[in-house]
Amino acid sequence: MFRSISAFIFILLFLSSCHRYHKVLEITDTSELNGVASASGLAIHNDHYFVIGDDSPFLFKVDSQFNVIQKWQIYPADTSKLKIPGNVKPDFESLENIGDSILLVFGSGSKSPQRDIFIRINPNDPNEVETYSMTVFYQHLRNQKNLKDTELNIEGLTVRKNKLYLFNRIPSLIFEMDYSAFLEHIQDRSKLPAIETYSYKLPAINGVRAGFSGVTSVSYIPYLIFTASVEATDNSTHDGAILGSFAGAIRLKDDRPGSSIKTIRLDTGNIPVKVESIGVETIHSDRHMTVILVTDSDGKESMIYRCRMSW
């Protein structure tokens, strides 16, 4: 009898483990982000979501019910117009919360010097904004061997254990560096930080390869949690047909990005979406969490999703 009970318990634990780590990216809640036409970055801070757009001068604050409740101007522009023209926009594509009092924003660097912008914001008082030129630093990235003869297009950032990770769209690269060294260079024009580069091959849809579009991390789980989207375009400055999106996780080994990568396609039915960023709302285990995604709908209202994610 005891042997039978032990076997029964083992089977239950095995089945529970299989379910727990089955690859899932399931939408549980969704809404339009009213007034946010080109969402490109997301950060979570004190039960609220901060959102930026790639052609918007504003930082938006969104509540847990997905209502836009406040906005602040963080970049000089004519606010009587809904969008900053493409030839002069800073192309804010990356946003991350790295503590109780710092939000980081990066321009994509895909056009210089217009998009060579780095901003630090106090989320408790978003009128406190520090803006820096990134032209020298971005040229440093362009000179990395994995990026030569291709395009710089920074789409995501995160900071974990004093390491800054910048995610380039296509080719799908991660630039890793010491965050303190990066800040010293930006603030004091000191020497450029040493950079490690990691290259990844992401899935394709209809023969078109996905590219990184966002990233976040949590200090106590050993993963970089990312998004990737598929768009039928041959360069980083023009939109193309949206084919779909993925979320995924890259395992960290000795606090460095490893070769182990998991991807899960987001199922939105017959209407593919371009997911641009991700935030972790709730950790259920190191491979099971609730995440928030935002999309750029190329001129239409952006969407925000709450999803159950596991792998």
Per DSSP, the residues of 120-142 read: EEETTEEEEEEEEE-HHHHHHHH
Place of tokens 């182990």: 260
Mention every residue, 6+ apart, whose C-beta is less than 8 A from residue 15.
none
Distance of alpha carbon 275 from alpha carbon 302, whole angstroms: 10
Predicted confidence at residue 19, as pLDDT, reads 46
pLDDT digits (tens, 9 = 90+) for 47-103: 999 999 999 999 999 999 999 999 999 999 998 887 899 999 999 999 999 988 899
| Cα dist from 96 to 12, 93, 156, 167, whole Å | 39, 10, 8, 12
Angle, nearest 10°, between helix axes 179-188 and 135-142? 130
| Cα dist from 307 to 28, 171, 274, whole Å | 5, 27, 15
Place of tokens 């919360």: 97
Predicted confidence at residue 2, as pLDDT, reads 44
Question: What distance lies between CA 35 and its chain's CA centroid?
Answer: 21
- Of 91, 84, 36, nearest to 61 by C-alpha is 36
Predicted confidence at residue 37, as pLDDT, reads 86
Residue 286 tokens read as 């190191």
Distance of alpha carbon 131 from alpha carbon 116, whole angstroms: 11
Distance of alpha carbon 55 from alpha carbon 41, whole angstroms: 12
Distance of alpha carbon 18 from alpha carbon 5, whole angstroms: 20
Predicted confidence at residue 282, as pLDDT, reads 97
Neighbours of 52 (CB within 10 A): 31
- pTM here is 0.91
Predicted confidence at residue 291, as pLDDT, reads 98
Residue 258 tokens read as 């490893």
**Is residue 261 within 8 Å of residue 247, measured between CB atoms?**
no
Distance of alpha carbon 123 from alpha carbon 239, whole angstroms: 31
In CATH, the number for domain 23-310 is 2.120.10
**Is residue 25 within 8 Å of residue 266, measured between CB atoms?**
yes
Residues in the chain, pLDDT under 70: 1-21, 234-238, 299
Distance of alpha carbon 47 from alpha carbon 281, whole angstroms: 8
Predicted confidence at residue 6, as pLDDT, reads 57
Residue 104 tokens read as 């980081």
Predicted confidence at residue 14, as pLDDT, reads 46
- Of 65, 111, 63, 66, nearest to 84 by C-alpha is 111
